[in-house]
Amino acid sequence: MSTHNEDSPRAALVEQRSIDYIPESERHGRLFSQFTLWFGANLQVTAIVTGALAVVLGGDVFWSLIGLLIGQVLGGAIMALHAAQGPKLGLPQMISSRVQFGVYGAVIPIVLVCLMYVGFSASGSVLAGQAVGQLAGVSDSWGILIFAALIVLLTILGYRTIHMIGRVASVVGVLAFFYLFYTLLSQNDVAVLLSNRHFSLSSFLLAISLSASWQIAFGPYVADYSRYLPGKTSSVKTFLAVGLGSVVGSQISMVFGVFVAALAGDKFAGHEVSYIVGLSSTGAMAAVLYFCVVFGKVTITTLNAYGSFMSLATIVSGFRGNHEISRSLRLVYILIMVGLATLLALLGQHSFLHDFSAFILFLLAFFTPWSAINLVDFYLISKERYDVPALSNPNGRYGRWNLRGILVYAFGVVIQLPFIATSFYTGPLVEHLGGTDISWIIGLTLPALVYYFVARHSGQTVPDRLILPVEPSAV
């Protein structure tokens, strides 16, 4: 009978694995930890700001709340379908893209994923820097730097620490939001805000797009945090644990954001954190809330940093043909990605709200077609039967470049361009649709249909079962 080794990768304080396959002997964790991770990761200030954008950009309170909920459910379902891949494959999310794009071709979407991580980390660091600055009595810039140092440390510690933070963040987030909602409802007549109902299709779809993009943007790394679960873990239960945690947490945050934005008017932009805290507290309680803001940002920013270094490692390993990376190289990857995000945060902190709104909406053009292709292949074409060892072999089953997958992905991006409406780019068909952005709907449906048809007629052989790496026998 095997015994537990305190020096094993499973027990070590600092995670030993990176983008390599997780053997069944090292699998651990419970589904409840998946729920608390994503629940806690979404009870945070950037989600509040995302919800606030629905009102800041022209929507009313009532229909914004409904639109945000619809987007959460739609986007959350897509995100949770990716999460269910983790226990089956035992790999980070983006490596599975090599099935659809080829070992080298998968670099194309992974590079874009890295940009996403950097952008989200930068935007989150701006808000966390505001809170750290208030707590420590330093400038926002110094707050951003202090926060970045903490993120580097936690990312080095890795998977187990991230899930532990998620559990704590769930408790901290619930207490903080209970207090914030209590003070908001006791000092303001929310019924008056809800009674102002002026339905606008463009504003309603904007609210759906904001929350759907928030959820879909987790797709490229959500399996990174479920890959240590035992391989026999129920896919349905994984789907529900991750999906409910993310949808419920983000909807709570965004509902609060809608109310705050409706009350704040023009006072919100540029002072998001101080305005939220100042609504209800001064003195010691304000300091507690600033701490809660920082702690809430720690979870999600660590997720971004952890996912970013693994995506960068995936890019390099695709050309090296080796999934294992040294500790020193792991540290270099982490410092590169966190450093870049911190630099962007420092440079863009004074135009945060405007730039972030454009960023989060434009993300959809690049990630909805990737999600569509990946999910159609996994669930409908390959039907969960991947050859995992072949994912690191450019001369193997999946080849170097899969032109079919790459071309469908390019089609999925291009076909959305006429329907995108952001501050820095607006497609030619948006005006004819009353200013409504429906690009994400196009980006999900058309690439899914095209890829399904192309893949079914490609002649590529699918394994008759899931092929996993050979594991050493237990002693």
Residue 258's Cβ-side half-sphere holds a number of Cα atoms within 13 Å equal to 27
DSSP code for 269: T
Domain residues for the domain of 236 are: 31-352
Residue 432 is assigned to a structural domain of this protein: no
- The tally of domains found in the chain comes to 1
Query: What six digits make up the tokens of 310?
Result: 């693994």
Residue 308 is assigned to a structural domain of this protein: yes
Residue 348 is assigned to a structural domain of this protein: yes
Buried b (16+ CB within 10 A) or exposed e, 172-210: bbeebbebbbeebeeeeeeeebeeeeeeeebbbbbbbbb
Residue 249 is assigned to a structural domain of this protein: yes
> Burial, 401: exposed, middle or buried (Cβ in 10 Å; 0-12, 13-18, 19+)?
middle
Candidates 279, 439, 316; CA nearest to 369 is 439
Contacts of 345 (CB under 8 A, 6+ apart): 121, 122, 123, 125, 126, 129, 144, 148
Query: What six digits make up the tokens of 293?
Result: 């803001």
**CB distance 224 to 22 below 8 Å:** no
pLDDT of residue 91: 87
> Burial, 474: exposed, middle or buried (Cβ in 10 Å; 0-12, 13-18, 19+)?
exposed
Q: pLDDT for 362-380, tens place per residue?
A: 766 888 899 999 999 999 9
Candidates 141, 178, 184, 137; CA nearest to 287 is 137
DSSP code for 399: -
Residue 292 is assigned to a structural domain of this protein: yes
- Low-confidence stretches of the chain (pLDDT < 70) are 1-13, 15, 17, 265-274, 279-283, 318, 320-325, 351-361, 363-364, 434, 471-475
Q: Residue 465's CB: how many other CB atoms inside 10 A? A: 10
| Alpha-carbon gap, residue 123 to 393, rounded angstroms | 36
pLDDT of residue 6: 38
Residue 399 is assigned to a structural domain of this protein: no
pLDDT of residue 291: 79
- 3-class DSSP state for residue 421? strand
Model-level pTM? Answer: 0.85
Q: pLDDT for 380-427, tens place per residue?
A: 999 999 998 888 888 888 889 999 999 999 999 999 989 887 777 788
Residue 441 is assigned to a structural domain of this protein: no
**Residue 279 phi, psi (nearest 5):** -60, -30
Please give the full DSSP string across 60-112, using - where no structure is assigned.
-HHHHHHHHHHHHHHHHHHHHHHHTHHHHH-S-GGGGHHHHH-TTTTHHHHHH
| Alpha-carbon gap, residue 141 to 171, rounded angstroms | 29
pLDDT of residue 409: 95
Q: Residue 471's CB: how many other CB atoms inside 10 A? A: 11
| Alpha-carbon gap, residue 121 to 137, rounded angstroms | 23
Contacts of 251 (CB under 8 A, 6+ apart): 68, 69, 72, 211
Residue 453 is assigned to a structural domain of this protein: no
Domain of residue 38, CATH code? 1.10.4160.10
| Alpha-carbon gap, residue 211 to 51, rounded angstroms | 8
Query: What six digits make up the tokens of 339?
Result: 């450093």
pLDDT of residue 1: 33
Contacts of 95 (CB under 8 A, 6+ apart): 19, 106, 314, 323, 391
Amino acid in the structure at residue 321: G
